[in-house]
């Protein structure tokens, strides 16, 4: 029961951090993150779709993979996906109250909050699903830091979407994913060391 409560708190707190970073810092300056969140932001910028709803839709294939090959991660990530995605859409009103900061500063702060939210959930063996879930599986398979794997996915999404946006957006988005990766790795470093230590 204590472990369940701890995981629940991590999901709620992580989702709040992630939602704050996206709605208060990234979206107002039209900045991308990577991974599944990046795909959700692209859908929002291009077609006006809700970010959280898009993340859920795009995550279905990865959750299907987890169901057949990594059932524990499926269950651990399902709640994180639903709560974080719902939080992003519910707190979308924060975009109207964003601070008029330099876009580069907003990218750093937004990335740090997103990375903190992701890292907090990963540290408690849950995640937002999507590419974070896929990164968890790859991290365990290859014994790599999960933050590094997420960073690789982020670069891929930013690179593929490059032709859709301005050079400034790409530069700011690169700053964001670096910030996300750094904070996520800091939050999960002890977990990585635990897995890497021979038993």
Condensed to tens digits (0 to 9), the pLDDT of residues 148-169 reads 887 788 788 887 777 788 888 8
**Structural domain contains residue 21:** yes
Q: How many domains are contained in the chain? A: 1
CA distance 98 to 9: 26
Confidence (pTM) = 0.86
Residue 184 has pLDDT above 80, yes or no: yes
What's the confidence (pLDDT) of residue 131? 80
Average of per-residue pLDDT across 129-139: 80
Question: End-to-end distance of the chain based on CA atoms, in angstroms?
Answer: 28
| In a domain? residue 111 | yes
Count of residues in the chain: 199
Cα distance between residue 38 and residue 19, in whole Å: 13
Tell me if 198 is assigned to some domain.
no
Q: How far apart (Å, rounded) are the C-alpha atoms in residues 16 and 110? A: 12
Residue 185 lies inside a defined structural domain of this protein: yes
Higher pLDDT, 198 or 44: 44
Instruction: Give per-residue pLDDT as tens, 54-112.
Output: 999 999 999 998 898 888 888 888 999 999 999 999 999 989 988 889 999 999 999 99
pLDDT at position 190: 61
Does 92 map to a domain?
yes
Average pLDDT score, the chain: 86
Structural domain contains residue 61: yes
Q: What is the pLDDT of residue 82?
A: 94
Residue 199 within any structural domain of the chain: no
Which residues form the domain of 109? 2-193
């Amino acid at each position: 029961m204590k472990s369940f409560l701890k995981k629940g708190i991590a999901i709620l707190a992580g989702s709040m951090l992630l939602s704050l970073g996206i709605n208060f810092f990234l979206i107002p300056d039209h900045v991308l993150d990577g991974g599944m969140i990046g795909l959700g932001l692209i859908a929002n910028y291009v077609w006006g779709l809700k970010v959280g709803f898009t993340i859920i839709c795009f995550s279905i294939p990865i959750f299907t993979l987890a169901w057949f090959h990594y059932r524990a991660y499926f269950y651990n990530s399902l709640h994180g996906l639903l709560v974080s995605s719902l939080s992003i859409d519910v707190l979308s009103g924060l975009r109207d109250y964003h601070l008029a900061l330099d876009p580069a500063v907003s990218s750093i702060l937004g990335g740090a909050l997103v990375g903190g939210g992701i890292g907090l959930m990963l540290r408690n063996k849950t995640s937002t699903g999507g590419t974070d879930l896929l990164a968890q599986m790859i991290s365990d398979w290859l014994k790599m830091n999960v933050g590094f794997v997420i960073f690789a996915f982020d670069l891929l999404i930013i690179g593929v979407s490059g032709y859709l946006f301005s050079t400034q957006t790409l530069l700011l988005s690169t700053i964001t994913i670096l910030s996300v990766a750094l904070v996520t790795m800091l939050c999960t470093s002890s977990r990585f060391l635990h897995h890497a230590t021979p038993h």
